[in-house]
């Protein structure tokens, strides 16, 4: 039998083979296999994935959205004691003689106070702006300080700041004084004008929301009925006459009572004035658009409006240039318009023996307490030798 023998391998060839085998093993151990992008994406939470190297695509970067921080709401708090605060509602009652301290969230803020305090020259009122809030401090408060306090947040661009009126926070503060039921006033009598269809306020302002307030007439002496419709009462304002009429005029005053204390307010002298709802609407008309020298001319201005409303008229006419005197006739009548009584106020400008200088524009201006309006017309003057066509009726 023949025996097959292994071929002989010399030492140099054996070393060369081992070298290649080791390099292959090391290359396999060190080589980094890139994961499949889809597989990697599936493994990432919330579906977020990153593209790996060698993908050949540059990931598109999302544009950054600039978010505006939510604006903090402005609100008022009262400092009761050091370290103790309470949120303020629509009204607040503070005892006269105490110190009021309010805080308003925001930077910067601006305060509005009752008119009496705006003229304060005693140093009782001061405001301080802190980093996140503003403070108002009123020392030794009096009944006269009763009124509305407002904090306005400010909107600033660089150094220019303005009030944000729609975001102002208001509180009405009563400074209760056991000896003063009404806010003190230097006036014994106060004249108030009643205007037709305009609500009128009688400012019987009390210092305590607990006080009971009634309205009275001086002559004849009687209590005025307050029904909530024709006349109403608001503890923060006083009495309101919603649609003033002639019979509301006269001398009125308020009476406040709290416990055993009863006091009367300033006396209000109510004077009724029939104010119109709008300025007058004049209409102008001439006896003839074209007149002959020597004839007479009449220009009439008419206003139809509310009754008992005074209307004043003024004229502009060509004859003013030479000092031609003004002659007018006026009348006031009640007429029926759409089944209602209306007032017709009329004025007529009389131009006797027309001359050429009277040719031109005639303007009538009617004025009442609400304003004025004008109406104009043009008149032609012809010589006596010119034939004039009669004006159509």
Torsion (CA) 299, 300, 301, 306 in degrees, nearest 10: 170
Contacts of 205 by beta carbon, 8 Å cutoff, 6+ apart:
146, 147, 182, 183, 236, 237, 238
Quick count: other Cβ atoms within 10 Å of Cβ 66?
5
**20-78 residue pLDDT tens:** 544 444 444 444 444 444 444 444 444 443 444 444 444 454 444 333 344 557 788 99
Q: What is the rounded distance in angstroms from the CA atom of residue 147 to the CA atom of residue 95?
A: 14
Q: Judge residue 76's burial from the number of C-beta atoms within 10 Å of its C-beta, 0-12 exposed, 13-18 middle, 19 or more buried.
A: buried
- Please say whether the dihedral angle defined by the alpha carbons of residues 286, 289, 292 and 293, taken in this order, is positive or negative: positive
Q: What domains are there in the chain, each with its CATH number? A: 75-176 (2.60.40.10), 189-273 (2.60.40.10), 282-382 (2.60.40.10)
Cα distances (angstroms) measured from residue 209 to each of 101, 174, 237, 263: 20, 7, 11, 15
Among the residues of 138-286, which ranges form H helices? none
Q: What is the rounded distance in angstroms from the CA atom of residue 156 to the CA atom of residue 376?
A: 51
Nearest to 191 by CA among 267, 129, 139, 121: 267
Q: Are 350 and 329 in contact (CB under 8 A)?
A: yes
Longest CA pairwise span in the chain (Å): 170
Q: What is the rounded distance in angstroms from the CA atom of residue 152 to the CA atom of residue 372?
A: 39
**What string of pLDDT tens digits covers the 393 residues of the chain?**
434 444 444 444 544 545 554 444 444 444 444 444 444 444 444 444 344 444 444 445 444 433 334 455 778 899 887 778 888 889 999 999 999 999 999 888 999 999 888 876 678 999 999 999 999 999 999 999 999 999 999 888 877 888 888 889 999 999 999 899 999 988 889 999 998 878 999 999 999 999 999 999 999 999 999 999 999 999 999 999 999 988 999 999 999 999 999 999 999 999 998 888 899 999 999 999 999 999 999 999 999 998 888 999 999 999 998 888 999 999 999 999 998 999 999 999 999 999 999 999 999 999 998 999 999 999 999 987 755 555 555
The helix/strand/coil state of 305 is: strand
Q: What is the pTM of this model?
A: 0.61
**116-142 residue pLDDT tens:** 888 766 789 999 999 999 999 999 999
């Amino acid at each position: 039998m023949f025996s097959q023998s292994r071929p002989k391998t010399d030492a140099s060839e054996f070393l060369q083979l081992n070298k290649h085998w080791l390099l292959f093993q090391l290359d396999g151990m060190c080589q980094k296999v890139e994961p499949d992008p889809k597989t990697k994406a599936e493994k990432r939470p919330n579906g977020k994935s990153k593209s790996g190297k060698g993908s050949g695509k540059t990931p598109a970067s999302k544009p950054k959205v600039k978010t505006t921080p939510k604006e903090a709401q402005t609100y008022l708090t009262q400092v009761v004691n050091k370290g103790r605060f309470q949120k303020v509602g629509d009204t607040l009652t503070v005892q006269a003689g105490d110190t009021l301290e309010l805080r308003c969230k925001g930077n910067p803020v601006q305060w509005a106070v009752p008119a009496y305090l705006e003229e304060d020259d005693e140093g009782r009122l001061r405001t301080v702006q802190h980093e996140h809030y503003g403070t108002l401090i009123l020392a030794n408060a009096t009944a006269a300080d009763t009124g509305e306090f407002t904090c306005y947040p400010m909107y600033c661009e660089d150094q220019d700041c303005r009030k944000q009126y729609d975001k102002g926070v208001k509180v009405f503060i009563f400074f209760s004084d056991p000896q003063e039921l009404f806010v003190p006033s230097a006036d014994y009598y106060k004249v108030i004008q009643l205007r037709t269809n305009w609500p009128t306020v009688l400012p019987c302002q009390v210092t305590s929301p607990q006080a009971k307030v009634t309205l009275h007439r001086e002559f004849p002496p009687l209590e005025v009925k307050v029904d909530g419709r024709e006349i109403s009462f608001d503890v923060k304002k006083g009495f309101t006459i919603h649609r003033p009429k002639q019979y509301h005029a006269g001398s009125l005053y308020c009476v406040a009572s709290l416990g055993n204390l009863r006091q009367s307010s300033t006396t209000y002298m109510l004077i009724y004035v029939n104010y119109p709802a709008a300025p007058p609407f004049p209409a102008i008309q001439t006896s003839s658009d074209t007149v002959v020298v020597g004839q007479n001319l009449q220009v009439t201005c008419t206003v139809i409006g509310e009754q008992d409303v005074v209307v004043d008229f003024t004229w502009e006419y060509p004859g003013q240039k030479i000092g031609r005197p003004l002659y007018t006739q006026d009348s006031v009548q009640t007429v029926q318009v759409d089944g209602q009584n209306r007032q017709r106020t009329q004025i007529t400008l009389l131009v006797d023996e027309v001359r050429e200088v009277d040719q031109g524009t005639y303007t009538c201006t009617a004025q009442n307490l609400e304003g004025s309006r004008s109406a104009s017309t043009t008149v032609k003057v012809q010589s006596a030798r010119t034939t004039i066509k009669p004006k159509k009726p």
